[in-house]
Amino acid sequence: MWSAELEREAESVSLDIRHGERSPLSKIDITRVSQLDAEMLDNELLALLKTQSQDIFKHLPQYQGVVARYQPEINAFLRGMLWFLALRVNKPSPGDELSNLRYRNESLFDASFKKGLMKLPNDAPTRVQRLLHGVATVLVPLGWERLRELSMINHWSALEEDDWRYQICILMGKLEKFWLVATLGNFLAFFYNGRYRSLVDRLLCIRAVYQKAEAHRAASFDFINQQLLYDGFSEMLMCLLPLVDWVKLRRVSMKWYKSALLFYGLHVYPRFTKLYKFFERVYRRYKKKRARHSNSSLENEADEGYSSDSSCALDDDEEYEFVDQVDDQPDTTSSLNPSCSFCHRERACVPFVTNCQHVYCYYCLKVSQLQQGPGDPVCALCDELITSSVRL
């Protein structure tokens, strides 16, 4: 029994081994965005160096014509300097370094058992590959640009058809179209498998891979994203602002402003004024209520029998304008005195009647006036201004 199971397991293992020998290893995947970002960073570095080289001669007008004349050579020198400091010595370019990439000789990984490997000893590009890469990226663009400029200046396309210069001009046009189509095809293939990001890399069989498989990308694009957002917003404003009629906009704005002021004066301000007066009356009543509570102690003293003459008498120099002169006639209606409107005594002590026909003690009338401050006081019952008072 055990031998039969062992034979079945051995047979399954042998099948797996044979299947593994026939099937290739999994291919490594390098993110396409990392490779494109590295190439973009190298181009930005070249553009920055080009701008700095132009700024050197900006304040020397006598050399500006020379700089414009030899601009292709200056660009080739900058590209050659970048190649000389990076790929010539088997080092990654600044963009590749920030994206954790390096070049390797892809021809060493053609075998099926090597396709899944990230690194091999001496897998860097050979000297021939590096020299050809420098020629293809530095010298060929320079020679092509100079040849095209020469053909345009001498009007090779306008010569006779049997002239060798005309034939070279036609051949240049065909080669340029072929190169553009081949570059587009390589770009589509790069999107499909992510191996060769440029046609030169595919022709030389060199590929960008990770320096360290476990390392993360060192490039941060937060600032770039912010700059792109600001640039897009500024370009939008530059396109829209010239289309705005500022005179008409100012006239319409002033019209709206005057309408808003008129609406505020007719509708908003009167309502706020009424609301303010309402809260002012509520606050006055609240103060009067507090004053009545504070005078409760005075009512208790009056109940104990203090003299009306001593409790309600005030000096002549403390008299206020709103109190009229006390009549000299004797008080014949003391038994008919109503209650005080301030302290609510059953019988007002030295009663005075105000212009609103409410009765107060003389002392209570003075206290009410002192609590409400300068000016005419307000009646505690009807909130009417007390302008005069007469002794009952």
Q: Which of the residue ranges 141-155, 206-220, 294-308, 361-375 would you say has the lowest mean pLDDT?
A: 294-308
Is the same domain home to 298 and 216?
A: no
Asked if residue 11 is part of any domain, the answer here is no
Tell me the pLDDT band of 185, cut-offs 50, 70 and 90. Answer: very high
- Most confident stretch, 62-66, 138-142, 313-317, 376-380: 138-142
Instruction: Please give the pLDDT value at position 308.
Output: 46
CA dist list (Å): 59 to 54, 56, 63, 64, 72: 10, 7, 9, 9, 21
Q: What confidence score (pLDDT) does residue 216 get?
A: 54
The pLDDT value recorded for residue 226 is 86
Specify the pLDDT at position 223: 78
Answer whether residue 244 is part of any domain.
no
Instruction: Name 191's Cβ contacts closer than 8 Å, sequence gap at least 6.
Output: 32
Give the pLDDT score at 345: 77
Whole-Å CA distances, 352 to 334, 335, 337, 340, 362: 12, 14, 10, 9, 6
| Domain co-membership, 210 together with 308 | no
Instruction: Report the pLDDT value the prediction gives residue 178, as an integer from 0 to 100.
Output: 95
Using alpha carbons, select from 191, 28, 50 the residue that is nearest to residue 115.
Answer: 28
Instruction: Indicate the number of domains in the chain.
Output: 2
**Domain boundary residue among 213, 237, 261?**
237
Q: Does any domain span residue 8?
A: no
Instruction: Give per-residue pLDDT as tens, 83-111.
Output: 999 998 989 999 999 888 999 988 888 77
At 21 the pLDDT is 40
Single out the residue in 207, 237, 267 at which a domain terminates.
237
Whole-number Å distance between alpha carbons of 74 and 72: 5
Model pLDDT for residues 301-330, shown as the tens digit of each residue: 555 544 444 444 444 444 444 444 444 444
Same domain, 274 and 370: yes
pLDDT single digits (tens) 342-368 = 887 778 888 888 888 888 888 888 888
Q: Are residues 204 and 114 in the same domain?
A: yes
Same structural domain, 205 and 282 = no
Would residue 245 count as lying in a domain?
no
Same domain, yes or no: 293 and 156: no
Q: Do residues 258 and 113 share a domain?
A: no
In a domain, 43, yes or no: yes
Let me know if residue 7 belongs to a domain: no
Residue with the larger pLDDT of the pair 295 and 80: 80
Which residue stretches of 86-198 are H helix? 94-98, 127-134, 140-153, 164-193
Residue 41 · residue 98 · CB < 8 Å: yes
Integer Cα distance of 178 and 193 in angstroms = 22
pLDDT at 193 over 50: yes
**Residue 338 pLDDT grade (very low, low, confident, very high; cuts 50, 70, 90):** confident
Which residues form the domain of 300?
A: 253-391
**Least-confidence region, from 200-209, 218-227, 344-353:** 218-227
Average confidence (pLDDT) over 250-272? 87
Of the residues 204, 237, 270, the one at which a domain ends: 237
